[in-house]
Structure 1
């Protein structure tokens, strides 16, 4: 009887044991079959920041959302950093197969001795498994899944491949994922350029990126750096002398005020970003790891920002302007070389170089003179600069349908040549010239040259009454500088995908929109603006041409000038359209243009424009000027000889 009872107990125990084993096996199998397919790592494409480069190869910006990451191969990661990470995180990385049982035991003993967690037992492979496939929730199931995934990863990939994945995936603080982004964030370097001290500092961040950030807790970061150096020394990865020198090395951190939109050229970068999103969409731009090579010249950009900030801060209060913009384009290629959309991007993101539409004033007159040259009207043609009343469409400004404009200084100069009228920016001859050549002809030419904004078809067109952008005007003036050939402005040279394959390359497309000799004739007239006219204070020591522009009540001031290889537009004013005071008399815009161009053109070859061919000279005959009613206009009071003062 007792033997039977004993046999039953043994069978029951045997059944329970096997049931337990089956349960454990079933539990493991359930986890195993729910594990992600490790083979997916073959096509794994982590979210990667888009990098923007200047024309001289400098990183201007990184576009990203949640994760700022730049993926690099192991060969482009400092060997110091590789060793530092292994020493600190997984000393037996090259000996284990995903799980380090000795490491787990060692960590447990050490943590028990200290009474708190001072060392982890997870291998680099386990951390990679957690980062890629699992949450950070601390449960038994998650830990088991982590271990099993680590074993599968080790079975499918080499140690070098695992280390490369880990170093590109690990979070290192301040939205930086991967060692390349961290190297740039903390030291302004690539991961390949890190020295031992810098590598140990970054490796020390892995355990607590936010806690040990050198920007928030330098003391804690330093303790972690020394810890990593000691671990490297223990494993004979560095000599004692190397470790000591690294520990006392002064680290040069990047300024913490770097913005995702770039340290320099923020207006250019936002302009570029809008273009990229329109072409490729936000997902590709923020996560696709594009490499965007731009036209921006960092030296020109730095000078442009310096000059704009200087004039706004020093002269703005005196002459009552609070904003300014500058744009430089190579007229031969359309490449935007510098762009400043305002005095301070941090204060205002509105781009006054591309988004603002303002009246250009007399800066629009060269379009009228270009049509005159097309129609064979020579520059020695005489027009009367006299008080004149024009018939216009009735409006709230001209309810009786008449308009009697004035010159800038309120004076009249009598009979003047077209050349003189442009140099001195005289309004009355320009309006009469517009009447003669035809308003629609001028609008058509402006369109061909790159003006896309609405142009009001009235006589005030020649005075720049229609609002346009600085980008439009500067690009259009590039046609004059480029011998009548239009080249669309661009900020992008080429774009590569994350694999280095070119997916876009800008093709310079030239289009003749103005006769070459007509362009040369207009340039010849505009040279006089700098040598004898309203822009004389912008004169530089090389052949150049330009045009000033000031609007009614001094709400806007413009200066657009060019040499054969560079056209630069400058605008100053106020966002609320309030009048300025004295900006024309002291030539703020010409002086901004001059200071900028003298600096950026230093060392550049001195080029001249083609010489124009003029029709056979005939003694000038006075242009008969009539009013809208058909009555001959006689010179009025307040006349001044042609050699009168600049306006």
Structure 2
């Protein structure tokens, strides 16, 4: 069919339609459609045009804890971490109309709606004047919207300039005027107007704008500052004083002249205000980059709240979080190899509260949370779990080891299903016979491999699971050296059991929720579940205090200003992962450093992770935050022969024991565990024989003291 035929058929169809439909019917349909449209617009206005308080307009968001962490901390202003939906943040400071200075209110009325108190939402005189001005200019030269109309647009509508939008705006303005008095409308308007950007955050309201541009409360703004704020309403970015000072000055002076022309101020007052200078610097809101933590909360908890008016107060401490962010950046910048990543988690072991969390170098570049989702080999940072399993009493009887038990640090070869396993110390040196304490403090792999073989990897895995580790743990001999992967969060929680004297606190990330500006209701925090004998936890903690005092973690507290601290380094195979975890009775902080692709970092935990922990503690904590580890019931002390080192006395060294496992009074003890059949050279045989002779001589000495010989 050609075009001519199509056109002919169309004309025939149109003529037939005209014959069936009269003009009256067309008019009726048109009127019905307009009537229906007005009904719909009116219904929308009746449903949506409602005002709450300025606090109700605050976006529902996550905030830092309302009371700072630590002893003697006071209530502070919570810092917004982000909206629940991940949308853009807004900077708002709700203010009441009665608290604002008169000259600020008068400036807004003079410029934006001088007949505000004489109309009912629509100012037809102003609308007519705007139409005449726009016709003369052949474009949009002047607006006719009242303050009520502007408020309706800002609250409920888009900024598009269409006839439909203007009709909806007018309907909502009328409904707002019917429902609310003038002061309520004016207060809502002054809290809602857009006044520029604070970074990625839109500034809404004169309260937030006064803080940003002048660094003061809106109640204290001068006449010149009030005129500047009002002058920015029409074009906030164009008239921003720090960006375009001259344009801002001209606009401010124009507002002052308009106020004087309307008799709201005198010409002398306007001239005096015009002599004020322009602000040269802004005052950005205090920020905390808690986006990794926000993702952690949203992924682990179901939070369903309205989009505005609510605040979810989290356990995150603003001071500690900022310290964590700076420590991570500084620690990564000092590494010789670029591209490394790091993560940090800090908790309060008494409550399980997450105090700080950093999941990577840059959230904008990678949203993968290495603090909670990355599973990596903990290496020697896993040894405290092995020590717990070894030092616990077995079925109510004696433990397999004490801290004074002597373990061989000599070559070891173990047959496994995957072939022979030959663990080595990090420096590939052997030290002969060492105590369990020495093996922990110097992070010796071979002695801990022997301990793991003696107690069994299944027992180690079961102990780790009691400490809150849920990642799969493969029960193989190398588990004693941290071969199974865990997350940083799991490891920090496990150390929290040691810090808490054997109690495992449930992880807690939210303090509570309330309407914005209100304090959250107090929530009872359950006591930690007792998962380890406090006496056994103390034994392990005493060795980890030694790690910080004289072991692989001694660089942490060389100046001694952190008080009592325990900690442990960790380095995985081929130097791929560097760890350090430190704790006091009230704080546990752990750091992981490595590459996402598993490349070798070529640094130990002491070299890469420990400096980050040190900087974090230096910035985040005060002297009041440190306590000592109390000696629990069930602990006794005794002398034990030290197999290696120079820190013992003539009779040995004072050591902690579980009650009933200490040496007899006024004697020195030396403790061994059954030897494994492994290849030995003659030098080792001679050393072993010399040690046996020494033990016999000491036994003879003890018997003489008792008068038996």
Q: TM-score, normalised by structure 2?
A: 0.74
Greater RCO, CA 8 A, separation 6+:
1
Where does structure 2 lack aligned partners over 5 or more consecutive residues? 1-27, 66-75, 394-398, 636-656, 664-668, 689-709
Indicate the residue corresponding to 1:203 in structure 2. 230
2:279 pairs with 1:251? yes
CA distance in 2, matches of 1:579, 1:24: 76
- Unaligned 5+ segments in structure 1 are 1-21, 395-400, 643-647
Secondary structure of the structure 1 residue equivalent to 2:384: helix
Question: What does 1:475-554 align with in structure 2 at a 5 Å threshold?
Answer: 475-497=493-515, 500=518, 502=520, 505=523, 507-539=525-557, 540-541=560-561, 542-554=563-575
Which stretch has the larger CA shift, 297-306 or 369-378?
Answer: 297-306
Residue 558 (structure 1) aligned with residue 602 (structure 2): no
Query: How far apart, in 1, do the equivalents of 2:133 and 2:49 lie?
Result: 37
Q: Is the 8 A contact 1:293 1:494 kept in 2?
A: yes
Q: Determine the structure 1 residue equivalent to 2:706.
A: none
1:225 corresponds to which residue? Answer: 252
Q: 2-side partners of 1:135 and 1:587: how far apart?
A: 55
- Are 1:384 and 1:416, in contact at CA under 8 Å, matched by a contact in 2? yes
SS of 1:570 mapped into structure 2? strand
* Residue in 1 that maps onto 2:87: 65
Q: CA deviation at 1:142?
A: 6.0
Shift in Å, 1:112: 7.6
Number of aligned residue pairs: 600
Determine whether 1:294 maps to 2:326: no
Q: Distance in 1 between matches of 2:140 and 2:155?
A: 24
TM-score by length of 1: 0.80
CA deviation string 1:490-548 (max 9, x = no partner): 33222224585858957344211111111111111211112222112123342211111
Deviates more, 1:515-524 or 1:61-70: 61-70
Q: Which moved more, 1:25-34 or 1:214-223?
A: 25-34
Whether the 8 Å CA contact 2:97–2:183 is kept in 1: the answer is no
Over 3 Å counting, the alpha-carbon distance change for 1:321 and 1:530 in structure 2 is farther
Q: In 2, distance between residues paired with 1:385 and 1:139?
A: 83
Tell me by how many angstroms 1:151 deviates: 3.7
Shift of 1:378: 1.3
Contact 2:227 2:256 in 1 (8 A): yes
Does the 8 Å CA contact 2:313/2:520 hold for their aligned counterparts? no
Distance change (3 Å), C-alpha of 1:109 and 1:471: same
369, 380, 405: which one aligns with 1:381: 405
Structure 2 contact 292–359 (Cα < 8 Å) conserved: no
Superposed counterparts of 1:311-460, under 5 Å = 311-314=331-334, 316-317=335-336, 322-375=340-393, 376=399, 377-394=401-418, 401-460=419-478
Of 329, 336, 349 in structure 2, the residue corresponding to residue 309 of structure 1 is: 329
- Aligned-partner Cα distance in 1 for 2:239–2:587: 49
Structure 2 match to 1:621: 671
When structure 1 is superposed on structure 2, of 526-535 and 57-66 the one drifting more is 57-66
Q: 2-side partners of 1:289 and 1:60: how far apart?
A: 13
- Is 1:92 the counterpart of 2:115? The answer is yes
Moved more, 138-147 or 34-43: 138-147
**Paired residue secondary structure (1:94):** helix
Change (3 A) 1:536 1:160: same
Is 1:51 the counterpart of 2:67? The answer is no
Cα distance in structure 2, aligned partners of 1:533 and 1:77: 61
Of 35, 42, 62 in structure 2, the residue corresponding to residue 36 of structure 1 is: 42
Change (3 A) 1:58 1:112: same
The whole-number CA distance in structure 2 between the counterparts of 1:180 and 1:291 is: 21
Secondary structure of the residue aligned to 2:434 is: strand
Distance in 1 separating the partners of 2:122 and 2:143: 12
Q: Deviations over 1:270-301 (max 9, x none)?
A: 322442366446x848x344312222333333
Deviates most, 535-544 or 33-42: 33-42
Give the whole-Å Cα distance in 1 for the aligned partners of 2:299 and 2:105.
36
CA distances 1:143-167 after superposition (whole Å, capped 9, x unpaired): 5665555444323321122223434
Cα gap change, 1:338 to 1:575, in 2 (>3 Å)? same
Residue 484 of structure 1, CA deviation: 0.8
Helix, strand or coil at the partner of 1:537: coil
Q: Against the structure 1 CA distance between its residues 552 and 363, is the aligned structure 2 distance closer, same or farther, given a 3 Å change threshold?
A: same
- Give the Cα separation in 1 of the matches to 2:530 and 2:596: 36
Taking the aligned partners of 1:346 and 1:639, their CA distance within structure 2 comes to 60
CA 1:143/1:452 → structure 2, altered by over 3 Å: closer, same or farther?
closer
Q: 1: distance between equivalents of 2:511 and 2:477?
A: 40
DSSP-derived class of the 1:176 partner: strand
Change in 2 beyond 3 A, CA 1:531/1:497:
same
CA drift of 1:182 comes to 5.5
Give 1:412 deviation, angstroms.
Answer: 1.5
Q: Does 1:179 align with 2:209?
A: no
Contact 2:60 2:309 in 1 (8 A): yes
Corresponding residue for 1:7?
none
**Aligned counterparts of 2:471 and 2:535: Cα–Cα separation in 1:** 27
How many angstroms apart in 1 are the aligned matches of 2:565 and 2:88? 48
Once the two structures are TM-superposed, the CA of residue 93 in structure 1 deviates from its matched residue by 0.8
